[in-house]
């Protein structure tokens, strides 16, 4: 699977969501413009600090929160981290823990130099975005780990996990 780098610019992010899931899924981003601006600023800061994987994780997680219709105030204050993948959203959360397999960042030393090339892409973050995008697009059932689950229970679980991560961030 080719994992893209998470878009940060709000207009490009919306276009990316339209390309991946259609206009219906992207419509929710129109009401989250403040959160998308804060998100872009945070991602740029993390990237400038060479915290590339954290920028990816933050970008995909906040985009997932926006696609799930969470309030802009919550999306804008989401912490940088991976707690959403490691906690249950509540007692009825049907999703696995961890939510997705999380692979280490790939690093390659360029021979004959002091340069290390880093692949910052975040497969688990992208899968969270993909799942949220399917829900925003109106899918009634989503497949997680070979199990077909109802969209309502998955959305509730993801929202619970994001809220819990935000509370502990």
For residue range 48-84, what is the model confidence (pLDDT) as tens digits? 998 988 999 999 999 999 999 988 888 878 877 777 7
Residue 112: predicted pLDDT: 85
Per-residue model confidence (pLDDT) at position 169: 58
Mean pLDDT (whole number) for 92-110: 76
The model's pTM: 0.86
Q: State the pLDDT at residue 68.
A: 92
pLDDT of 99: 76
- Residue 92, phi-psi category: left (phi > 0), alpha (psi -120 to 50), beta (remainder): alpha
Asked if pLDDT for residue 22 goes beyond 90, the answer is yes
Of residues 27 and 97, which shows the higher confidence score? 27
Average pLDDT over residues 12-34: 89
CB distance 129 to 64 below 8 Å? yes
E-assigned strands of 55-152? 106-109, 116-119, 141-144, 147-150
């Amino acid at each position: 699977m080719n994992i893209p780098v998470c878009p940060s610019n709000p207009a490009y992010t919306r276009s990316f969501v339209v390309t991946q899931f259609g206009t219906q899924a992207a419509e929710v981003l129109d009401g989250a413009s403040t959160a998308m601006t804060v998100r872009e600023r945070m991602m740029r800061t993390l990237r400038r600090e060479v915290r590339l994987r954290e920028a990816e994780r933050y970008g995909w997680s906040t985009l997932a929160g926006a696609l799930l219709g969470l309030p802009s105030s919550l999306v804008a204050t989401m912490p940088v981290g991976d707690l959403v993948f490691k906690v249950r959203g509540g007692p009825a959360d049907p999703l696995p823990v961890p939510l997705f397999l999380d692979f280490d960042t790939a690093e390659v030393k360029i021979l004959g130099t002091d340069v290390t090339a880093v692949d910052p892409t975040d497969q688990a973050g992208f899968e969270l975005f993909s799942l949220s995008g399917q829900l925003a697009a109106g899918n009634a059932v989503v497949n997680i780990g070979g199990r077909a689950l109802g969209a309502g229970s998955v959305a509730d679980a993801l929202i619970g996990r994001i809220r819990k991560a935000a509370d502990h961030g």
